[in-house]
A and B are shown apart, each in its own frame.
Chain A
C-alpha cells in the first residue's frame, strides 16, 4: 500500500486545510469541555490533542435526523401523496482524526445497513464517499477496551490512512488504495526506520496500558435462552434510569425511528436515531409491550450487542470498545462487567 510519510504537525494540518477544496472535511474541535467532529469551515480550529469526541462520529454517515422522502399533501398540487426522495449531498467527505475504535465501529454497523438482502441507500452511499484518516491512541483512557473488542489503539481496519503522533510530527501510514492515492499527492518525507520503530513501540506501549480482555467462546456457545434467563439481569439493570445516553453516544448502536412531519401542505418522512432503552420503542398499538420492564430493555441492549449480533454475523461483538457508555453512564453501568457475567 505504498510507504508511510512523516510530516511536521503544522505542515500536515495545512495539507488538511487545503483538502477542503476537494472534500467536505470533518475535524475534531473543542466546544466547552468536550470535543466534537465539525465541518472544517473558517472559524473552526482543528484540535487533534484530544482523547476522543463525546459523541461518536456515526452521525457523519448516519445523521441523527435525516429527511428520507417528501411530498405535497393537497390534492390540487402535482405529485400529491406520492413520496419522492429528498435531495441529498453525497459529495466526497474526509474525516480526519477519527479514532481506530470508531472507524472499526462503522464496519460493525455496515453489516446491518449493507447486507445481501437490503442496502440502505443513504448509509451506503455516504459511507462509500467518505475517506477516513485515523489517529492512533498513544494514551488510551481507563474506560477504553478496543484491544479486546476491536483492533486495538492503532487498529487499521476501517481506516484509509492512520496517523501516529510522534511529538512534533505525524507519521502517516496508508492502509487502503483510497488512502494511498491521497497520500501520494502529499509532499512529505518518507518514513525512516527509526521513525517506524518509534511508531511500533508507541503501539506496543499503548496496548500494554489496556488490561481488559475476554474470550468470546462462551458468548458463542451458550444458547440465547440460557443467557436470556440468567438471574443477573435485574441486578445489572437495577440502577439504570433508561436515559438512553449509552445508545445515543455509541458508535455501534444503529436503531432508528421513522416519523412523518407535516408543515402546511408538505410532508417530510424523517428518520431519527432511536433507543431500545425507551419503552415506546416496542409498544404495540394494542397497548401490549414485549419489553415493558426496564430490565427487559437493559437486557435487550446487552443481548443484542453480545449475543444476538454474535450469532447473526459470526463476526465478533457489536461493540468497538470505545468506552463512551462506560464513561458517560450517570449510574456507572459498565459493559465490561456485563461481558464478564455473560462469559462466566
Chain B
C-alpha cells in the first residue's frame, strides 16, 4: 500500500529572493531519487506539501511548469513557523516534498480557447506555471489569445520580474503589468488596481476563460468586472487556500461545504463556488 503521507526526499538546489522586502523567496528543489521525480507528474494549478522535518508541512502551489524538467520550484511568503524556518535554510539542505496534490486548472476544457490570466500580489505562483506551460512550443498552438493582467502594490513586489520582461517582448502573449503606485519615474507599465486594469485592457470574453488568483479583496472586485465583460461563472476559475494538514481529504479541516480544498480543489469555478458555503 503506497503511503500517501510519506514525502519524497529532496535537496534545495537554488534560492532566489523575489521581492525587495525579502519576504518572498523562490526555492528550487531536485529529487534525491530519480524514480521519485518520474512519479511526480503534475499539471499547472496543483500544489505540494513542503515538508521540513522538525517543523512541519505546508501546502504551496507549484510554481514551475511540467515542461521544465529535472526540478520543481515554489515561491514562499514568510508568515509563520514553517515558512520562516524555510526562509533560513540553505542551498544543499535536505528536506521533503509530498505531492503532487489537488486538481489543476481545466486544461482539457481550455484547449482551443482564449485564456485571460489575472493575478495579484504573491498569488502568481501557479499562474507562472500556467503561462510557462502554455508558451511551451508544444502547447502554444493549443490555445488562442493569451492575456495576462498581473499587479502588485509596487514594482519591488512583483514576482518573476525577469520573466515578465521577457514575456513583454513576445508577440504571442499580451502582458498588462500594473502596480498600485510607483515612485519610479521610469516605470513604463500600468498604474492602477488589477480590477480597473482588467476592465480597461480585457476587451472580450468571447471563447475565453479567466483564471483569477490573488488576495480576497482583488478577487472580490475583479469578479463583477469579468461578469460585465460577459464571462459566465463557469468560465471564471479560482484557486482557494484553506488551512490543511493531510492534503489528501482525510484530516477534515479545509472543507468548503462537501468539497475539500485539498482534494476536490484547490481549483474551482465561480459557478461551483456559488453552490457552496463561503467558508474560505
The yes or no answer to B79 lying at the interface (CB within 8 A) is yes
Q: Which residues of A are found within 8 Å of B258, using beta-carbon distances? A: 224, 307-309, 311-312
B257 touches A228 (CB 8 A): yes
A259 touches B56 (CB 8 A): yes
Q: How far is the CA of A10 from the CA of B83 in the complex (A)?
A: 60
A80 CB to closest chain B CB, in angstroms?
Answer: 7
Among A100-108, A151-159, A276-284, which stretch is in contact with chain B? A276-284
A163 CB to closest chain B CB, in angstroms?
Answer: 32
The answer, among B3, B95, B245, for a CB contact under 8 Å with A85, is B3
Q: Which residue of A lies closest to B7 (CB)?
A: A83
With A119-B1, A260-B54, A267-B54 given, is the CB distance from A283 to B251 under 8 Å? no
The yes or no answer to B263 lying at the interface (CB within 8 A) is yes
Q: Which residues of A are found within 8 Å of B279, using beta-carbon distances? A: 282, 290-291, 296, 300
* A-facing residues in B255-280 (Cβ within 8 Å): 255, 257-258, 263, 275-277, 279-280
* B-facing residues in A29-84 (Cβ within 8 Å): 68-69, 71, 73, 80-83
With A81-B53, A256-B246, A285-B80 given, is the CB distance from A224 to B257 under 8 Å? yes
B265 CB to closest chain A CB, in angstroms?
Answer: 13
A83 touches B96 (CB 8 A): yes
B47 CB to closest chain A CB, in angstroms?
Answer: 15
The yes or no answer to B94 lying at the interface (CB within 8 A) is yes
A121 touches B1 (CB 8 A): yes
A11 CB to closest chain B CB, in angstroms?
Answer: 39
The yes or no answer to A1 lying at the interface (CB within 8 A) is no
A118 touches B54 (CB 8 A): no
A221 CB to closest chain B CB, in angstroms?
Answer: 15
The yes or no answer to A17 lying at the interface (CB within 8 A) is no
The yes or no answer to B185 lying at the interface (CB within 8 A) is no
The answer, among B2, B243, B257, for a CB contact under 8 Å with A282, is B243
Q: How many residues of A contact B (CB 8 A)?
A: 53
A69 touches B6 (CB 8 A): yes
A119 touches B80 (CB 8 A): no
The answer, among B1, B51, B55, B263, for a CB contact under 8 Å with A117, is B263
The yes or no answer to B111 lying at the interface (CB within 8 A) is no
Q: How many residues of B contact A (CB 8 A)?
A: 45
The yes or no answer to B5 lying at the interface (CB within 8 A) is yes
The yes or no answer to A113 lying at the interface (CB within 8 A) is yes
Q: How far is the CA of A82 from the CA of B9 in the complex (A)?
A: 6
B179 CB to closest chain A CB, in angstroms?
Answer: 21
Chain B CB count within 10 A is highest, among A254, A269, A274, A284, for A269
Chain B CB count within 10 A is highest, among A112, A224, A267, for A224
The answer, among A83, A228, A309, for a CB contact under 8 Å with B53, is A83
The yes or no answer to B219 lying at the interface (CB within 8 A) is no
The yes or no answer to B18 lying at the interface (CB within 8 A) is no
The yes or no answer to A315 lying at the interface (CB within 8 A) is no
Q: Which residue of B lies closest to A266 (CB)?
A: B54
Q: How far is the CA of A45 from the CA of B243 in the complex (A)?
A: 44
Q: Which residues of B are found within 8 Å of A224, using beta-carbon distances? A: 257-258, 275-277
Q: Which residues of B are found within 8 Å of A290, using beta-carbon distances? A: 242, 279-280
Q: B interface vs A, CB < 8 Å? A: 1-7, 9, 32, 51-57, 79-80, 83, 93-96, 216, 241-243, 245-246, 248-255, 257-258, 263, 275-277, 279-280
Q: List 21 A-B contacts (CB under 8 A).
A: A81-B94, A81-B96, A82-B32, A83-B6, A83-B96, A85-B6, A112-B252, A118-B4, A121-B2, A124-B1, A258-B251, A260-B55, A267-B54, A269-B53, A274-B251, A274-B252, A282-B243, A284-B242, A300-B279, A309-B258, A311-B258
